[in-house]
Amino acid sequence: MARSADYVRNKLEGTGRALPLVSFPLSLGYEAVVRLRNSCYDKKFLHAQKLPLPVISVGNLTLGGTGKTPAVIMLARLLKERGYRPAVVSRGYGGRNRGAVTVVSDGGRIGATSEEAGDEPVLIAESLENMPVVTARRRVDAGQAVLRNLEADLLILDDAFQHRSLFRDVDIVLVDGDRPFGNGCIVPGGMLREPPAGIRRAHLIIVTDAPPGFDAGEIERVAPDIPIFMAQRRVEDILDCSDGTARSPEFLRNKRVAAFAGIAFPRRFRDTLLPWCGSLEAFFSFSDHHVYDERDIREIRAADADVIVTTEKDGVRLRRFPEFYRSLRLLRIGMHIIPSPEELMTTLFEKLRQ
C-alpha cells in the first residue's frame, strides 16, 4: 500500500510515472470492502465501544497531507485554554511498538522515542506541554490506559475517522482545499481511504489551505448539512537544532538553502519554504515516514548551501543522527482557523452537548 500511495502522490503532484492500470480494479475491490465494513457499523452489526469521557476524532478521507498533526495540536491547545484536560490517542504509525500501549508522554515527561511510538505522536507530545499522549493499534486500549493511569477529562483521537471501533462524540474531518476528494478514486488508484460519501459521518469539516476564491460547493454537494470551517497552515518560526533557539523565518532571506521532506506531499513543504529563502539550492523529496540512513544524509549534505531546512516530523526521526540533527533548521508550522477559532469552538461544544 505504501508504494501505491507514493505512486498516487507523485501523480497528483505532477511527478512520477502513471499509475498502473491494475490499480483501478484493486481500488474497486478495496472500495467494496470499505463499504461493507461501514455498512456493518451503520446498521449496528458491528458496535463501537464507548468510553466514559468525551471523545473527539480528528481525521480525513485521504492518505495524509491535510494537516492532521498541526490540527490536533491546535485543538488540544484551544481545549486546554477553555478549561479541559485533553489527552491525545494515536495509532503510532511507524513505531516498532506494534500494537502495544505506549505512553509517549504522561503529561510531564516524554517516555518514548519516534522509533518506538512513531514520529507524529512524539511531535505532538513535545508540542503539548503537560498533556498525555498514548499510542496503541487499538485506540480503545490507549483510551483505557489514559483512564486508568493518567489525568484527562477528554480524548482527542489522532487520525481515527476510519477507526470506527471506538465511539466518538464528535468527528472532525479535514479536507485539502486544493483537492477535496483527490481524483475521486480509492487507494491504490487514488488518495481516498473511503468513498467521498463517508464525509457525511462528520460533525464538523475543516478545509485546509484553500486557494483564493475557493468554492465549497464540491463538499456541500456531498455533505450539505455539515458545518464547514476554513484553516490555513502558517510558518511560525525556524528552530535551530544546535541550541534549541527559535528564529524568525526572515533568517533565511539571504541564505542559500537546501531542504528536504519525508511527508505526504513534500512539494507543499517546498512551496511553503520558497518565499522565505534567499535561494533554494536543492530540494530532496522522500516518502512519508521515510527512515533515513547514512546515504540520505551524505546526499543532503553534499548540497552547496548555507542552511539545511526540514520539517518538524523529519527532525524527530533524525535525532538518532546527533551530528546531522544539530546542523538542521526546522520550519515550524501552525494551524489557524480563519478568521478566528471562536465559531469553531462554539459549534464543537454544541456537538459535544448533543
3-state SS assignment for residue 214: coil
Q: Output the pLDDT for position 126.
A: 96
Q: Are 238 and 252 in contact (CB under 8 A)?
A: yes
Neighbours of 140 (CB within 10 A): 18
Span 68-89, average pLDDT: 98
Task: Say if residue 2's pLDDT is above 80.
Answer: no
- Spell out the domains of the chain, with CATH numbers in brackets: 55-232+336-353 (3.40.50.300), 234-335 (3.40.50)
What is the percent of the chain with per-residue pLDDT over 70, rounded to a whole number?
Answer: 94
* Reported confidence tier of residue 19, pLDDT bands at 50, 70, 90: low
Report which of 140, 141, 108, 123 is spatially closest to residue 72, judged by C-alpha positions.
Answer: 123
pLDDT at 6 over 80: no
pLDDT for 11 equals 47
| Cα distances (Å, whole numbers) of residue 298 to 216, 281, 293 | 44, 16, 9
| Residues 6 or more apart in contact with residue 304 via CB below 8 angstroms | 256, 258, 281, 282
pLDDT top residue among 58 and 65:
58
State mean pLDDT over 79-104.
93
Residue 279 has pLDDT above 90, yes or no: yes
**What per-residue confidence (pLDDT) applies to 10?**
52
Backbone torsions φ then ψ of 158, nearest 5 degrees: -85, 125
Closest CA to 91 of 99, 83, 82: 99
Compute φ and ψ for 88, nearest 5 degrees.
Answer: -105, 135
Tens of pLDDT, residue by residue over 209-222, are 999 889 999 999 99
Is 12 a residue whose pLDDT tops 70?
no
Q: Looking only at Cα atoms, what is the longest distance across the chain?
A: 61
Lowest mean pLDDT among 10-19, 34-43, 111-120, 330-339: 10-19
Identify the weakest region by mean pLDDT among 183-187, 230-234, 314-318, 326-330: 183-187
Q: Report the distance separating Cα 101 and Cα 145, nearest Å.
A: 8
Q: What is the pLDDT confidence band of residue 20, given thresholds at 50, 70 and 90? A: low
pLDDT of residue 3: 43
d(CA 159, CA 57): 7
Highest-pLDDT range among 7-11, 90-94, 142-146: 142-146
Q: Which helix (H) or strand (E) holds 117?
A: helix 114-117
Give the DSSP per-residue string, 132-171.
EEEE-SSHHHHHHHHHHHS--SEEEEES-TT-TTB--SEE
Q: What is the mean pLDDT of the chain?
A: 93
- Cα–Cα distance measured from residue 175 to residue 337, given in angstroms and rounded to the nearest whole number: 13
pLDDT score of 16 more than 80: no
The model's pLDDT over 25-63, given as tens digits with 9 standing for 90+, comes to 889 999 999 999 999 999 999 999 999 999 999 999 998
pLDDT of residue 286 exceeding 80, the answer is yes
Is the distance from CB of 102 to CB of 115 less than 8 angstroms?
A: no
CA-based nearest residue to 69, from 289, 325, 320: 289
User: For residue 81, what pLDDT band results from cuts at 50, 70 and 90?
Assistant: very high
Element (H, E) at 103: strand 102-106
β-partners of residue 260 are 284
Confidence of residue 99 (pLDDT cuts 50, 70, 90): confident
The residue written with cell numbers 486557494 in the block is 211
- Provide the pLDDT confidence category of residue 229 given band limits of 50, 70 and 90: very high
Stretch 4-25: mean pLDDT, rounded? 55
